[in-house]
Chain A
Amino acid sequence: MGLGRLLGAAAPVIVGVFFVAGWEALVRIGQIPVYILPGPILIAQTLVADWGTLWPSLVVTLKITFAALGVATVGGVALALLFASSRWVERALFPYAVILQVTPLVAIAPLLLIYITDVNVALLVCAWIVAFFPVLSNTTLGLRSADPGLLELFRLYGAGPWSTLFLLRLPSALPYFLGGLRIAGGLALIGAVVAEFTAGTGGTASGLAFRILEAGYRLNIPRMFAALFLISGAGIAIFAGLGLVSRLVLGRWHDSAIDRDA
């Protein structure tokens, strides 16, 4: 590992340390009251002190996130296969997928919460709506991006539609699908949190977004920050985890997974 790469890895850490130190210094020197801006040390202390309430809330939010991601993956891939099998199906359905995608979730969530009586199901649907589109569109693109030369080769040797799907189209779509999955992971978390906010105190009264609302009403600003910290942390962990999955799966064959300096 060269000095350049070491610096490259250290750079964001150095920025983070300066930012946190500057924040703490600002709060202390400016004597800013805790209910306006708590310092990072206090937030860390709150995180530890309130772990008993925050951790179960994190688990609730993550459960919705991963359930939504799972359904989005299965549904997105299934729909992509349907789209790739027929241009007509794609033409008929794709506009609706786009409508779901471009309509802001905060605008649909209240309606869904009214119509779907089980709040957990409503939250799941909200998170799914935002998460499934990248999986669908990326996988559809991937299924269509099989090398035309290889497609001809398959035809020349008399491959049927199933061999072509399993031996050629699905592997070709894999990098695209994994890219979509990485985006979907972050979006599922955002979807879950937004839906929880919309459900508010009428919701399951247990997710991280609810903790933020609740702490806000009580002017418990440090706890709001602690919950926010957990949400960001979860998002980063999901992104990194899916990135790792992607690298492991694509291993030796895809450019995106190869370390050029190695």
Chain B
Amino acid sequence: MALVSLSGLGKTFPSGTRALGGIDLDIREGEFLSLLGPSGCGKSTVLRLIAGLVPPSEGSVARMAGLEGAMGFVFQEPTLMPWTSVLKNVMLPMRLSRVPRAEAEGRALEALARVGLKGFEGAYPRELSGGMKMRVSIARALAARPRLLLLDEPFAALDEITRFRLNDDLRRLWREAGWTVVFVTHSVFESVYLSTRIAVMTGRPGRIAAVRDIDLDPERNADTRTSPAFGAEVRRLQADLAAAMGDGL
């Protein structure tokens, strides 16, 4: 059974913008699914509908029992509380869901170590670089032990070196922990590198134009990015995207 099942999902904002028109998509347990599409095509809206942050105007979002409260969200910006330490930021979701303090602290420290921020627990967000802030944001989502992790272009504002490193970290964490990921991006390369499956979207209103399984070796590294198989996947997706944009215009 799917973890989340979107059927006939549509969203029209009060302003009259029809952001999504009829999305059908199953999110399978354990997969790394990317939503790929140009900006403004409704990717963020899909993610926010999955999380339940906005209500759908048509269709439905069916979540597996027990999934509410077990979803993590990483926004495009780090979205940290500037007035408190990295550790307190990471502990926030657990504090809100009343995890005992000692346990929350232990889990926060562990999550920070996993994203490579051991020793920065006491730092304040403004003392960190953009990439480090993003890691804190990821650690905050991880520490709450989500079954489903939703990421909205989390690395779009970072330089390429940092982005590649965080891509590797994210993939490693996903393989270790075995949760399900929905990752929003507008980068073909990033989505191919990370995903097990990619849904290509087009806009006005947002629809899913194609869904592709990515059959690459699960062990991915710098060599993957230059391998012929990777190049072939990228070309296939670029063609999907071009075709989708073509009949979208």
What 0/1 pattern do residues 83 to 122 of B give for CB contact below 8 A with A?
1100000001101110000000000000000000000000
For B82, list chain A residues within 8 Å (CB).
253-254
> Do B97 and A174 touch (CB < 8 A)?
no
A258 to chain B, nearest CB (A): 8
Closest A residue to B48 by beta carbon equals A152
Residues of A contacting B: mostly: helix
> Do A252 and B124 touch (CB < 8 A)?
yes
Question: What separation, in Å, do the CA atoms of A186 and B197 have in the docked complex?
Answer: 63
B185 to chain A, nearest CB (A): 18
> Do A253 and B84 touch (CB < 8 A)?
yes
**Which of B10-18, B70-78, B211-219, B227-235 lines the interface with chain A?**
B70-78
> Do B71 and A252 touch (CB < 8 A)?
no
Residues of B contacting A: mostly: loop
Question: What separation, in Å, do the CA atoms of A230 and B152 have in the docked complex?
Answer: 58
> Do A156 and B71 touch (CB < 8 A)?
yes
**Which of A95-103, A119-127, A157-165, A217-225 lines the interface with chain B?**
A157-165
Does any Cβ of A come within 8 Å of B51's Cβ? yes
Does any Cβ of A come within 8 Å of B144's Cβ? yes
> Do A150 and B53 touch (CB < 8 A)?
no
> Do B97 and A157 touch (CB < 8 A)?
yes
> Do B97 and A153 touch (CB < 8 A)?
no
Residues of B in contact (CB 8 Å), total 24
For B39, list chain A residues within 8 Å (CB).
none
Question: What separation, in Å, do the CA atoms of A174 and B81 have in the docked complex?
Answer: 13
Does any Cβ of B come within 8 Å of A8's Cβ? no
Does any Cβ of A come within 8 Å of B126's Cβ? yes
For A158, list chain B residues within 8 Å (CB).
69, 96-97
The interface of chain B, by Cβ under 8 A from chain A, is 48, 51-53, 69, 71, 73, 75, 77, 79, 81-84, 92-93, 95-97, 124-127, 144
Other 4 A-B pairs with CB < 8 A, given A150-B79, A167-B81, A252-B126: A154-B96, A156-B52, A157-B96, A253-B82
List the 8 shortest-distance A-B pairs measured between CB atoms, nearest first. Answer: A149-B79, A157-B96, A157-B93, A253-B83, A159-B96, A253-B82, A171-B83, A252-B124
**Please, could you name 14 A-B residue pairs with CB atoms under 8 Å apart, sorted by A?**
A150-B81, A152-B48, A153-B79, A153-B93, A155-B53, A156-B53, A157-B97, A159-B96, A163-B96, A167-B95, A252-B126, A252-B127, A253-B82, A253-B83
The interface of chain A, by Cβ under 8 A from chain B, is 147, 149-150, 152-159, 163, 167-168, 171, 174, 252-255, 258
